Amino acid sequence: MPAVELIEAKRDGAKHAEADIAALVGGYVAGAVPDYQMAAWLMAAFLRGLDADETVWLTRAMVGSGTTLDLSGVPGVKVDKHSTGGVGDTVTLVVAPVVAACGVPVAKMSGRGLGHTGGTLDKLESVPGLRTALSADEFARQVARVGVAVMAQTDDVVPADRLLYALRDVTGTVPSVPLIVSSIVSKKVAGGADAVLLDVKCGSGAFMRTPAAARALAGELARVGAAFGKRFSAVVTDMDAPLGDAVGNALEVAEAIAVLSGEGPPRLAEACEQVAARMLVLGGVAADVEEG
């Protein structure tokens, strides 16, 4: 089905076939579907929604647009962590080394800022000389050697998400649950980790403004992740105020280092404890959150 017919179908509330979604995504990655048509489809999907099947199919098409990282050579349960984004959110910078130090390998493919939220890569790249553009082999070797690695999304890993991520950011289609879910899960499936902890932010500084919306997003992420054989766990955390006292990439990195040193804002430290404990449960080194 031509792209314009898919736009019209979704505009009118029709359900897509899996093959049509795959063709649309594949055509966009190949350059056969221009930005203006994909932007129109994104807005139609934003307004009309995607059902449970369509969300899984979109995610599958996005995963299939590139390669999947192989971390099978790294012993243990590899755990990833993803935040839906907020202000002053440096949780990844704190929990990744903490969880790795407890014996759980942390393999995180990270993204940049979306909307008003800052991305982990943007924060890390404020450190002079720090390189996040790792190859798949470098990523796997670092996880095996150090126990933790954070890499930028490469051109050959979920290229569909990289393109759609940028287009959503400038077309007003960011706060859509199906589009958020397909973006997050496709990256996590392709990233090669065995389990994923989802930090779903809720409040005035988050994409999900209410607890009900945040819980709905968390449930949908877990459902779609399970369709790909991945174990997803979610925690809903408050984002009615910045997590830390610092706002700005370099300042937030310094604040994360302070938390790792036993200092820093208690609110940020508490959020990090919640996330790290659940990652340790996913990694199999803690029986429950209290032990973690």
Across residues 54-60, what is the average pLDDT? 98
Domain that residue 120 falls in: 79-282
Q: Cα-Cα-Cα-Cα dihedral of 222, 194, 96, 61, to 10°?
A: -60
Whether residues 30 and 160 share a domain: the answer is no
Whether residues 21 and 162 share a domain: the answer is no
Whether residues 34 and 96 share a domain: the answer is no
Q: Are 115 and 237 in contact (CB under 8 A)?
A: no
Say which residue the tokens 């017919």 belong to.
5
Whether residues 154 and 269 share a domain: the answer is yes
Q: For the chain, how many structural domains are there in total?
A: 2
Q: Can you give the pLDDT at residue 10?
A: 98
Q: Can you give the pLDDT at residue 204?
A: 86
Residue 55 lies in a domain: no
Task: Give the residue numbers annotated as catalytic, written as ranges.
Answer: 82, 161, 168, 183, 187
Whether residues 144 and 249 share a domain: the answer is yes
Residue 58 lies in a domain: no
Residue 278 lies in a domain: yes
Q: How confident is the model at residue 118 (pLDDT cuts 50, 70, 90)?
A: low
Whether residues 95 and 197 share a domain: the answer is yes
Residue 40 lies in a domain: yes
Query: For residue range 62-98, what is the model confidence (pLDDT) as tens digits?
Result: 999 999 999 999 999 999 998 887 777 889 999 999 9
DSSP letters of 224-260?
Answer: HHHTTT-EEEEEEEE-SS-SSS--SHHHHHHHHHHHH
Q: Highest mean pLDDT range out of 16-20, 67-71, 228-232?
A: 16-20
Whether residues 18 and 118 share a domain: the answer is no
